[in-house]
Amino acid sequence: MNIIIVGCGKVGTTLAKELVAEKHNIVIVDTDVEKLEEMSNTLDVMCVEGHGESVAVLKEAKVEECDILIAMMRSDELNLLSCLLAKKLGAKNTIARVRNPIYADAINLIKDDLGLSMCINPELAAANEISRLLRFPTAIRIETFAKGRVEIMKYAIPEGSVLNELRIHQLRTHLKTTVFICAVERGTDVFVPTGDFILRAGDIISFVAPIKVANDFFEKVGAVSSRIKDVVIIGGGRITYYLTKKLLESGLKVKIIEIDKERCEELSELLPEAMIINGDGTNNHLLHEEHIENADAVLSLTGVDEQNVLMSIYANQQVPEAKIITKIKHFDFDDVLKGMPIGSIVYPKHITADYILRYVRVMQNSWDASMESLHRIVDDRVEALEFRIRHDSDIIGVPFAELDVKKGTLIACITRNGQTFTPTGKDSIQLGDTVIVVTTHKGISRLEQILDDEAVN
């Protein structure tokens, strides 16, 4: 596909790398000459210097041949204008990043008028992810599938756990649970395990389960946490605004600590039910004055990664039973952060890239639009894909035992007529099913691509 990315900041650069790896033709538009040179030297992309809202620049980028234009500039208004012009000039699809809460309610009203195919709000998406984590405090990360009926959760196996030295196939007999473990992180290694794989303390497992089954699993492994009621959020940015609205609606108590006095006044008007504290969240005396030790969850959501890491480490020391969540803007030190006691890490830019990458893959196969969602569950090494079976195929009705599935690929679960189950070798895919696949292979956009023999169509 021919794709134009307007703006090569962190998200734009990440997207470009992902899309080039999946063999798309990429044109990058930006005003930063040095950045364009860097991108041109490291990636097989075409670069155009100029403003993404310029008709002349868009024409130079061959917008009339464009399948998807993705506007990722800092200004919401410029992103919307760039998409509007691109659509008028012949682009088939346009995606805009829009972050200002002012547009949150209005964007759906004008989406069709602007010709937008998709609008992504990174802060709102991050707030939704954090909200899910607070529902299951024991989980490190949660991804939702099948319209909320199925979730993939991450859980770190502690010392002394009943899971230690247990083979995966023993989960059904020993724990009477039907969770499906689809990935295991052990140090720097990642496994897509078979039934004989032996779990160990320290492993981080990713498992697929309906919500009720997940709750039952956590109870059986002794990892039940009490319901979160009191939340302390350090940093009063956009994510905090969106998240606090959701938490207040759910009946939680929220205390926000923000250093900027003017922002505190804004939040007080926008969120009158929340407690807003004007102060420095890195000041441990202030945190004690605000009784951080009574919090069920402490969220470090400032705009500075280093501050968030330090505050989460401190919160973990002071309130070890609390749910700790840390927002990180940059990807560069991901391996270092994994060993730190900073709880669940949320990357808004990663979430944005995942949303857009999913849309691109769906558009590759728009004739059936079978792929519903995509999540990277272990960095960029393991993906979970959700497919909706809408059309007949040679793969339908074939028992899984007879399918030659690629190594490193698992069919995790099937949702059929509202019921979710883990398939056995005797089961098969049927028309109308929702199928979740976990794989180490990149670029899969059709269910048939999970087979070694890709002649199946």
- Is 363 in contact with 390 (CB distance < 8 Å)? no
Q: 97 by DSSP, 3-state: which?
A: strand
Distance CA 36, CA 31 (A): 8
Q: Give all strands (DSSP E) within 221-273, no chain letters.
A: 230-234, 253-258
The pLDDT of residue 10 is above 90 = no
Distance CA 332, CA 319 (A): 28
Per-domain residue ranges of the chain: 2-120, 126-220, 230-346, 364-450
Distance CA 195, CA 168 (A): 5
Alpha-carbon distances, residue 52 vs 141, 226, 353, 421, 449 (angstroms): 35, 49, 19, 47, 35
Distance CA 259, CA 87 (A): 42
Q: Using CA of residue 249, residue 255, residue 259, residue 262, what is the dihedral sign?
A: positive
Give the tens place of pLDDT for each residue, 177-235.
989 999 999 988 999 998 999 999 999 999 998 888 888 999 999 887 778 999 999 99
Does the structural domain 126-220 have CATH classification 3.40.50.10470? no
230-346: CATH topology: Rossmann fold (3.40.50)
Which among 115, 116, 4 has a CA at the least distance from the CA of 68? 4
2-120: CATH topology: Rossmann fold (3.40.50)
Q: What are residue 329's DSSP bridge partners?
A: none
CATH: 3.30.1360.30, 3.30.360.10, 3.20.20.70, 3.30.70.1450. Which one for 364-450?
3.30.70.1450
pLDDT (mean) for 406-431: 90
The pLDDT of residue 22 is above 90 = no
- Is 117 in contact with 71 (CB distance < 8 Å)? no
* Cβ neighbours, 10 Å, residue 118: 18
Same topology, domains 2-120 and 126-220? Answer is no
Give the tens place of pLDDT for each residue, 286-334.
998 989 999 999 999 999 999 999 999 999 999 988 999 999 987 666 6
Give the tens place of pLDDT for each residue, 237-247.
999 999 999 99
* Cβ neighbours, 10 Å, residue 61: 27
In one letter, which amino acid is 38? E
- Is 140 in contact with 156 (CB distance < 8 Å)? yes
Distant-in-sequence, close-in-space partners of 311: CB < 8 Å, separation ≥ 6: 234, 281, 282, 298, 300, 302
